[in-house]
Amino acid sequence: MPDKDLLIPHNFLGIPDKYTDLEKSRFVILPIPYEGTSSYNSGTKAGPQAIINASKQVEFYDEELKIEPYKVGICTLNELEPDASSPEKMVEKIFRVAKDLVNKKRILIGLGGEHTISIGLVKAFREKYKDLSVLQLDAHADLRDSYQGSKYSHACVMRRINEFCIYVGVGIRSISKEEASFARREKIKLIFAKDIKDNPGFVDDVLKSLSKNIYLSLDLDFFDPSIMPAVGTPEPGGPGWYETLDFLKKVIENKNVLGLDLVELSPLLGNITSDFLAAKLLHKIIGYISLRKKSK
C-alpha cells in the first residue's frame, strides 16, 4: 500500500497508473454495479465501489506468496452502466463488452453487482474457449428456470449457464426440490457445504469434474455469514477464510483460470468487514494466478 497521497481513487488497490495500462496489464477489472432482480436484501449495486474503496487498505505485499501481485498489471475499467430495461438486455450488454476484453487475452474479473452478471461474462469466454467449464462457489444452487417472472434472475444464473457450459457447484446449502430434481436429471455436479467439512478429498472430486480451462464464479454468500454478513441472501454453515483460500489455491495450481467474477456483496452501513474481505480475497486470487503463470 503506497502513501495516501499516491493512491489513485479509481484503481483497484489504489495502484499507480503505470501498472494499469490496458494493453500491458495481465488482469482487467470490470465493475458492474447491476442490481435488477434482488429478492431479499438489496444493495449489490454498491458492491463494486465498496470493494475498490476497501482495496486501498490492502497491503501490496502478500505475506504468503512473498510477492507484490499488482506488478503484473491490473487495469481497472470504468463502471459498466447498467441497462435497466430488462435483465436479458443487461446480460447481452455485458456479453458484448466482455467479448472484446476476452479477445485481448486478458484475465477478466467482473465485480458485481448481482449474480446475473455472470451469464454474460461466461458466455463471452465460452464463445472463445470451447473446452471451458465453470466453478461456482455459492450457498445457493441458482438453478431455477424462472424466478419472480424472470429467467435471468440471480436465482436462475446457473440454469442459464448450464444451457451452454458445464459447471461444478461447491458450497451449496440452499436448494429447492425442483432444483434438486433438475440437477439429478442433468447430472450436474453439486458439492454441498455439509460434505466439505472434514473431507479434504472433495477437492480432487472437483478437479476431476472440471476441464483444463475454467471460469470461476464466486458468490460471496459462499462464505459463512459470521465472516461475510453483507450479502443479498446469507446462509449459515458456509466455509471460512483459510479453508477457502486452500481450496482456491489448489484449483488455481491445477487449472487455467481464464476469468472470474466476485458478486453479491451488499455493503452494510458502518460495517466494512465484508468489503475488506472481498477486496483481500480478490488480491489473493490475483496473487495465486500470477504465481501459477510465472511457474508455467
CATH T-level fold of 4-295: Arginase; Chain A (3.40.800)
Report the pLDDT averaged over residues 180-195: 97
Please report which helix (H) or strand (E) contains residue 102, including its range: helix 87-103
Q: What is the pLDDT of residue 147?
A: 86
Helix (H, G, I), strand (E, B) or coil at 291: helix
pLDDT at 266 over 70: yes
Report the pLDDT averaged over residues 205-214: 97
How far apart, in whole angstroms, are the C-alpha atoms of residue 43 and residue 45? Answer: 5
* Domain coordinates in residue numbering, the chain: 4-295
Lowest mean pLDDT among 3-7, 151-155, 202-206: 3-7
Give the pLDDT band of residue 5 (cuts 50, 70, 90): very low
Sheet holding 133-137, edge to edge: 74-76, 27-32, 107-112, 256-263, 213-219, 133-137, 166-172, 189-192
CB 225 within 8 A of CB 234: yes
Report the pLDDT averaged over residues 269-286: 97
- Tell me which of 35 and 168 has the higher pLDDT: 168
CA dihedral 286, 290, 79, 94 (to 10 degrees): -100
